[in-house]
A and B are shown apart, each in its own frame.
Chain A
Amino acid sequence: MRRATFKGGIHPFDGKNLSKDKPMQVVLPKGDLVYPMAQHIGAPAKPVVAVGDQVLVGQVIGEASSFISANVCSSVSGKVKAIEKRLTVSGAMAECIVVENDNEYTTVEGFGTKRDYKKMTKEEIRQTVKDAGIVGMGGAGFPTNVKITPKNDNEIDFVIVNGAECEPYLTSDYRLMLEQSQKIIDGLKIVLSLFKNAKGYISIEDNKPEAIKALQELAAAEERIEVKVLKTKYPQGSERKIIYATCGRKINSKMLPSDAGCIVNNIATIIAIYNAVSESTPVIERVVTVTGDAVAEPGNFVVRTGTNYRELVDLAGGFVSEPEKIVCGGPMMGMALYTLDVPVTKTSSALLAMVKDPVAEAETSACIRCGRCVQACPSGLVPQKMMQAIKHNDLDMFEKIHGMECYECGSCTYVCPAKVQLTQAFKLARKTVMDNRRKAQNQ
């Protein structure tokens, strides 16, 4: 079979062997739980509890504050200890609700009740997804109910489950595909029930043969579901690339997947949809891969949201030697952590601790115009020229040569032999352009 893929991209060191054969382990938090109100793209949620309140597992403690926003639910029962600014993964301070765990795990009423989605209307399904606070759990954190509510349901012909997991080291989606494959199929069926003209695809890279097999077996019984095998390549799992690889359509930075007739959800997200709709369970936990050569026993853990990152390190047996770099998420697009005292959120896919920091060690030299960044860019851009434009302080030029189409995947930086920090510069330039646009609008 021809394995689908896209043009450009890279093959970074994979590192998945450290944790891919470690079954998921359910763990309970020890310390206080911290829930940032901003765990998603869009407006932060609004706290609806007060200090001293008693909360239950699954209770909404932060409410979506606008159309693009998401609820935050408590993952334990206990008392609200504080509502204050705390450090989050991004390195910024953000409003958080702190809950003291009473270790009883008393749930809200109706929590875990089985439901049949076939008896629910589309509106009920969407409302359930919204109430459950589901966001893109692959890392982007876009509110899922917005995603599954396009302008016209009938124009959607592809519902894609993103099982590429193309970031090195990450294995949480892989474990879910093996251990909860039925939930993926059922979750996809729920989404498909919203779009009568759509076919469901589960797109998986070919370096995960067991996952492909497991899901193919289940999909065989489903008329509307097919497993699509993709060539292993980074950044296959980005939304634009997975759409192209799966159905040959292209979207750019100004479009939503639904503009190309597609709805894309990541593996963990589709399971969250299943949990919310069929088992009345909001997002209160997620699978986190704890790995890297600085970690004693890498593994995949089912952790409650709000758990302190430090506890994750303990779960994995602590550090074998002091890590030089700790990353939240994958090595390509993840965020470097400066402290472990931050909470796990809905979008935390991994904690990666490395003895050596390959980026800090690299010494930047002059660009030799080798063009490798051009070959690698999955967006068809010319990073070298974009960098030149930035150096000349010419952001108009940066935009003109499509700089805003960069989605900061890191491929160009990865291949650059001169170790030019391209992606970092683009991140900054894009932000500046967007800030300028906003300023211009407000005038």
Chain B
Amino acid sequence: MADVIIALIPASAWGVYTFGWSAFYTIMACILTSVGAEFLYQKLMKKKATPYDLSAFLTGLLLALNLPAGTPWWLPIIGSLFAIIVVKQVYGGLGQNFMNPALGARVFLLISFATQMSTFTLDGVTGATPLALLREGTTTDLKDMFFGNIGGTIGEVSTLMLLIGAAYLLIKKVISWRIPVMYLGSFAIFIVLFGGHGCDINYLAAQLCGGGLMLGAFFMATDYVTSPITPMGQIIFGVVLGILTGIFRVFGGSAEGVSYAIIFSNLLVPLIEKVTIPMAFGKGRVKDGK
């Protein structure tokens, strides 16, 4: 957990730098509520309190990074409570939840408070996110998207910062390449085939950098608890994610789609795991070691 938190520091810092104090307050509100809620729940239920496993902290941070800066103060609190109590603890706590708590809460907020969730302010100006612009036919400067000079949620704006964090996780072997690489790869192929822009690099890059795809691919789809544990399952999971995200973005009503794709795929995990139990060593052919 600590490693994932460390890996999210660049993106969080960038979010605060870009959006100012309001981003910082949102992050703090999420983390404090998450940790507090978990602690209280565990005390009330007479379970062992586990604030030091940092998982509630991480949930709070992830949720914050999925919210726009400058949301009303109660939004992070409701979101965190929902994440910890409804998605995580009610299902039995760490390791038992079937969907990523932060994402579950984000989708809950998206559905319940659509307006507050899609008001993005940058430099005091309220504007649409690059993906929404893209849908309308305008494009954003690619460089801005890569470095993070755009509107969006706190954590999703800087592709560069997210990639730095992702590299850290990959080098430290906290996550494996399978899910993110298969996710991004299959998504890119889907966009080329069905995006309607062919191999237009600008369009493709905008699709890849925008809408929290990087945040989702490296930090949320890879969530241990809600992704397959088998190597083959992780590959399938990644591909399913890529295709679903593509479908949601190209054919769906909203420009986003990462959160929905991940949550939907989370539901498929038990099935994916079931069909991908690897062959045990020595169960194949003998002489050639296959």
Using a CB–CB cutoff of 8 Å, the interface residues on chain A facing chain B are 240, 244, 248-253, 255, 259-261, 365-371, 374, 378-382, 384-385, 401-402, 405, 418
What CA separation (Å) do A415 and B94 show in the bound complex?
Answer: 19
Could you name 6 residue pairs across A and B whose Cβ atoms are closer than 8 Å?
A250-B282, A250-B286, A251-B282, A371-B176, A380-B281, A382-B277
One of A249, A374, A378 near B289 (C-beta < 8 A): A249
Which of A244, A250, A370 counts the most chain B CB atoms within 10 A?
A250
Q: Provided the pairs A250-B289, A368-B224 are in contact, do residues A240 and B231 lie with their beta carbons within 8 angstroms?
A: no
- A369 touching B224, Cβ below 8 Å: yes
A368 close to B225 (CB less than 8 A): yes
Using known A-B contacts A260-B287, A369-B229, determine if residue A240 contacts B282 with beta carbons closer than 8 Å: yes
Contact call A379/B229, Cβ cutoff below 8 A = no
CB nearest to A250 among chain B residues: B282
Query: With A369-B225, A369-B229 in contact, do A405 and B286 touch (Cβ < 8 Å)?
Result: no
- Pick the residue among B95, B279, B283, B286 that contacts A369 (CB under 8 A): B95
Smallest CB separation, A11 vs chain B (Å): 13
Question: B286 near A367 (CB under 8 angstroms)?
Answer: no
B94 to chain A, nearest CB (A): 5
Give the nearest-CB partner of B229 in chain A: A371
Q: Is the CB of B277 within 8 A of A252?
A: no
Q: Is B111 among interface residues, defined by CB-CB distance under 8 A? A: no
Q: Which residues of B contact A (CB under 8 A)?
A: 50, 53, 55, 93-96, 176, 224-225, 227, 229-231, 273, 277-289
Beta-carbon nearest neighbor of B53 in chain A = A365
Pair A379/B94 contact, Cβ less than 8 Å: no
Residue of A nearest to B48 (CB): A365
Q: Are B280 and A374 in contact (CB under 8 A)?
A: no
Contacts of B224 in A (CB 8 A): 368-371
Closest 6 pairs between A and B when the two form their complex, measured CB to CB: A252-B282, A402-B280, A248-B289, A405-B280, A250-B282, A366-B95
- A382–B288 alpha-carbon span in the complex (Å): 24
Closest partner residue, chain B, to A260 (CB atom): B286
Residue on A nearest B285 in the bound complex, by CB: A250
**How many angstroms between the C-alpha atoms of A401 and B273 in the bound complex?**
11
Question: Whose C-beta in chain A lies nearest to the C-beta of B225?
Answer: A369
Q: Is the CB of A367 within 8 A of B283?
A: no
Q: Please, which residues of chain B bring their CB within 8 A of the CB of A371?
A: 176, 224, 229
A254 closest partner in B (C-beta):
B282
Contacts of A252 in B (CB 8 A): 280-283
Q: Known contacts being A249-B289, A366-B94, is A240 close to B281, with CB within 8 Å?
A: yes
**Are B53 and A401 in touch, CB under 8 angstroms?**
no
Q: How far is the CB of A207 from chain B (nearest CB, A)?
A: 22
Most buried by A among B93, B229, B288: B229
CB neighbours (8 Å) of A405 from chain B are 280-283
Q: Which residues of A contact B230 (CB under 8 A)?
A: 374, 382
Interface contact B278-A382, CB-CB below 8 Å: yes
**How far, in Å, is A399 (CB) from chain B's closest CB?**
11
Nearest chain B CB to A147 CB, angstrom units? 18
- Once bound together, how far apart are the Cα atoms of A418 and B55, in whole Å? 13
- Name B280's contact: one of A248, A366, A370, A381 (CB within 8 Å): A381
Are B96 and A250 neighbours in the complex by a CB distance under 8 Å?
Answer: no
Which residue from B94, B176, B281 sits with its C-beta under 8 Å from A368?
B94
Residues from chain A with Cβ under 8 Å of B281 in the complex: 240, 244, 250, 252, 378-381, 405
A255:B50 contact, CB within 8 angstroms: no
Residues of B near A418 (CB, < 8 A) are: 95
Residue of A nearest to B277 (CB): A401
Residues of A within 8 A of B286 (CB): 249-251, 255, 259-260
How many whole Å from B27's CB to the nearest CB in chain A?
23
In whole angstroms, what is the CA distance A260 to B285 when docked? Answer: 10
Contacts of B283 in A (CB 8 A): 252, 402, 405
- Give the complex CA separation of A401 and B233 in angstroms: 14
Contact A380 B273 (CB under 8 A): no
Of the candidates A244, A248, A379, A385, the one whose C-beta lies within 8 Å of that of B277 is: A385
Nearest CB of chain B from residue A188's CB, rounded to whole Å: 23
Question: A240-B282, A379-B281, A402-B277 provided; 19 other pairs, C-beta below 8 A?
Answer: A249-B287, A249-B289, A250-B281, A250-B284, A252-B280, A252-B282, A255-B282, A365-B50, A365-B94, A368-B224, A368-B225, A371-B224, A374-B231, A380-B278, A380-B279, A381-B281, A385-B277, A401-B277, A405-B282
Q: Measured between alpha carbons, how far is A251 from B281 in the docked complex, in Å?
A: 7
Shortest CB distance A243–B (Å):
9
